Amino acid sequence: MGAVAAELARRGIGTLRYQFPYMERGAKRPDPPQLAQATVRAAVDAALAIFPEHPLIAGGKSFGGRMTSQAQAIAPLKGVCGLAFLGFPLHPAGRPSQDRAAHLFEVQIPMLFLQGTRDSLASLDQIESLCKKLGRRATLKLFKDADHSFHVPARTGRKDSQVLGDMLDAFAAWLDDVIASGGEKSYPLGA
């Protein structure tokens, strides 16, 4: 995430990074959802206090993105006009499903899914189907041959840094669209 923040800064996009309590403790087991979602809310509140005049996009990588979307689904995150996911963990590896996505239908702001086509936690058919069901509020950007960490095999002739650049260019373009709408894009249930 450090490289992501640095590359976003090069594109004129500020970030606020934070860690969940389990990461601070050095534990491997993630925090329970209620604690993780409270951490997301505290981070959003901190960002809003620092940048009260700027549109906020919340999200994260894997678990962080899922906890952010769950928090937004329960009660809208103040000041947040969109959610961005870097590798949304749609299902456990090797067990394709959309069970972890039910809450996304409660999210009424734009969502960006940046996904590798070889992501073992979001099989291509499952993530494409989900985004289609979510309708206009979901934007899916796929990165050929990338896994959950956006690593690409050497045989592709591409480097991970190229994929990261492409991914963040897609993020920046999506962000421009969300901001151009005045942060007012919201979608009624079923849209």
pLDDT at 71: 97
pLDDT at 182: 61
pLDDT at 180: 77
Q: Which two tokens stand for residue 89?
A: 């963990």
Q: Which residues contact 8 (CB under 8 A, 6 or more apart)?
A: 14, 15, 168, 171, 172
pLDDT at 156: 93
Nearest CA-CA partner of 44 in 12, 76, 74: 76
Per DSSP, the three-state class of 95 is coil
Asked if residue 30 lies in contact with residue 36, where contact means CB atoms within 8 angstroms, the answer is yes
- What is the CA angle 74-75-78, rounded to 5? 145
Asked if residue 84 lies in contact with residue 179, where contact means CB atoms within 8 angstroms, the answer is no
pLDDT at 183: 52
Helix (H) or strand (E) holding 114: strand 111-116
- pTM, whole model, 2 decimals? 0.90
Q: Per-residue pLDDT tens, the chain, 191 aa: give them.
A: 888 898 888 988 889 999 999 999 999 999 999 999 999 999 999 999 998 888 899 999 999 999 999 999 999 999 999 999 999 999 989 898 888 999 999 999 999 999 999 999 999 999 999 999 999 999 999 999 999 999 999 999 999 999 999 999 999 999 998 887 765 554 444 33
Q: Which domains are present in the chain? A: 2-180 (3.40.50.1820)
- What is the CA angle 31-82-137, rounded to 5? 110
pLDDT at 186: 47
